[in-house]
Structure 1
Amino acid sequence: MTSRAVSRRAALATLAATLTAPTLLRAQARPTVRRNTSSFSQQHWSDHFDSLGAAAIVADTTSRALHFWSGDGQDYRVYPTSVPISEELTKRGYTRVVRKKIGPDWTPTPSMLERNPDLHYMPPGPDNPLGTHAMYLSWPAYLIHGTHDTRKIGRPSSDGCIGLYNEMIAELYAITPVGAQVRII
């Protein structure tokens, strides 16, 4: 009876190996795409900028991640983000951080009011869509900011801005100088 159990186990192991071998071979033949545990595509600053300057940020709208490099290249961080809800609201290209504010207030843009006339000015606080910190870009009405609504992170949910969890925008805010270069891809 023992030899029969061993034979059955051996047969099952052989069957499992036979069934999984083609899958393993196909996986090995595919080019490797480097991703971290959160499925963010790894970025390198030199693929986007000639130099690091004061600091560099790449906001990847496809993988919904923001990549930060310090000016000396010693500090590299990746943050999950929200991204614009539609292609029409997505602005891509090069810009820079021109101003930073803790406790930003929020005023809806004219295009936001067109889509939703019930929107109104909001002072800093828990209902403010900009969260606790904001970094203003050289493009009018485009920001990197926090959010109190954590459901938005990892999703297309903004009207053009890049949103982070409040604790993460606070960290990014502290290490990002005004003048940091930004690329939205």
Structure 2
Amino acid sequence: MAPRITRRATLLGLAGTLASPAILRAQSTDAFPTDEAPIRDTEAVKRNISAFAQQSWQDHFEELGVGCLLADVTSRAVHYWGGDGETYRLFPSSVPMSEDLTKRGYTEVVRKAKNPRWTPTPNMRERDPSLPAFMNGGPGNPLGTRAMYLTWPAYLVHGTHDTRKIGRQSSSGCIGLYNQHVEELYEMVQIGTQVRIL
């Protein structure tokens, strides 16, 4: 007697077939997927920060000091712990476009700026000769409304007016946040805040 094909079995089989590509993608160990559409071809999306795992500062820093900031490139999230031992914030972020542009390790915040001026690096202008030599702060400036400069030249934690970039591989090395998030973080972060790019 042949097995009976039921509606339920058919639906389960179809669901399994449709889910297979997603399961395979989820098992990938690559930190930077190669199948993301270019930013210019995508619409702005909202990221649900509740999907990120909370981290502990003790896993990354020896002491809190005036505060600690962890930029996790793999999960595309920024974690901040205040020097008071109670403040904790978690924000979705953009990450560098490639591993070549990603600098990892420990640094600290050495300067902060409101409505920062942007000066593209020589490498950025080589990749895109249409970039200006500099741009004053304001709408359209890639650094958004706030910037926190690190000991590493040309690497920053900053805002962005282009909300499509958050949660994506979209920067030339910096860590980007929604403007409203970077404005909140900017008020908490002090000069000397420890930073780890992981």
* Fold match by TM threshold 0.5: yes
Match of 2:59 among 24, 47, 59: 47
Alignment correspondent of 2:167: 154
TM-score, length-normalised on structure 2? 0.74
Distance, in Å, in 1 between the alignment partners of 2:159 and 2:138 is 12
CA drift at 1:37: 5.8
Query: What is the percentage of aligned positions where both structures have the same residue?
Result: 64
CA drift at 1:114: 1.1
Partner SS, residue 179 of structure 1? coil
Structure 2 runs not aligned, ≥5 long: 1-7, 13-47
Distance, in Å, in 1 between the alignment partners of 2:49 and 2:106 is 28
Task: Name which one, 1 or 2, has greater alpha-carbon Rg.
Answer: 1
Q: Tell me the matched-pair count.
A: 152
Alignment correspondent of 2:86: 74
CA drift at 1:40: 1.5
Q: Deviations over 1:23-53 (max 9, x none)?
A: xxxxxxxxxxxxx964213211001100001
Distance, in Å, in 2 between the alignment partners of 1:72 and 1:170 is 19
TM-score, length-normalised on structure 1? 0.79
Distance, in Å, in 1 between the alignment partners of 2:137 and 2:105 is 29
CA drift at 1:93: 0.2
Alignment correspondent of 2:99: 87
Going from structure 1 to structure 2, the CA distance change for 1:132 and 1:37 (only over 3 Å counts) comes to: closer
Structure 1 runs not aligned, ≥5 long: 1-11, 17-35
Q: Deviations over 1:81-140 (max 9, x none)?
A: 000010000000000000000010101101101101110111111010000000000000
Partner SS, residue 173 of structure 1? helix
Match of 1:167 among 180, 184, 187: 180
Distance, in Å, in 1 between the alignment partners of 2:117 and 2:102 is 22
